[in-house]
Amino acid sequence: MGTVGCDGMLWLRNLCSPHESGEFNRADGMVRFRRRLRRPFVAPFEEFDAVLEVAPINYGFPLHSIVLRHRYTGNSISLAGKMHHIEIDRVNALAFWDCLQRYMDVTQPLPDLPVLERSRHLDPVTAQYDSRTGRPERRWRNQAVTGWKTGGERRLRAQLERYPWQQHACIIQARLSDTIRIQDYYRALEAAGVEITPDSQDYQCLRLPERG
């Protein structure tokens, strides 16, 4: 370490694994995340199942985190500390998962978040929606902090508390049918030139259970 230096080690790490923390790519529908000493894992977003994990901290206060598990390989990634706050409660964790699904669904406009406001005009579906609904271009940037703290934040919290979470199907559904074999599914993706980590050869011995 003394010879190479911290900068050299960081350069070498980034050279071997260019995806620092991974990405959720709305354009191609892929999820990418790093794995230690291996190439980044890449798979379609619709192949991941969300798990709400709860862990107690001091005095038994529960902390919630969203973990995405890849349905066919067992790879997983926790989004706590990466995409949502570590100290998050249940309703905000569920709201975050709903938001992430809508972000990855190109048939819907981008979620109305401050961090995405500068990019809304670049997404055709979102730009159409904003034009149709008359959404102000600088809605969040012109929002007074005091007004948000005294009114908007409280209304949002009340809305999240009232919403019937987990009573509806996920917005983005897996598109695998009940009859297609997993290896055929991945073979079709490979034929289409989709770059993914799972390989159709890995599932040659798998068969779906016969239905009675």
Q: Maximum CA pair distance of the chain?
A: 66
* Helix and strand element counts for the chain (H, E): 6, 6
Q: What is the DSSP string of 80-135?
A: BTTTB-SS--HHHHHHHHHHHHHHH-TTSPPP--GGGGGGGGGSHHHHHHHHHHT-
pTM here?
0.75
Instruction: Check whether 93 has a pLDDT greater than 70.
Output: yes
The whole-number pLDDT of residue 123 equals 96
Pick 81 or 167 by higher pLDDT.
81
pLDDT digit string, tens, across residues 94-120: 999 999 999 999 999 999 999 999 999
Give yes or no for residue 168 having a pLDDT over 60: yes
- Check if the beta carbon of residue 63 is closer than 8 Å to that of residue 56: yes
Tens of pLDDT, residue by residue over 11-66, are 555 555 554 568 999 999 999 988 777 788 999 998 898 888 888 877 777 888 99
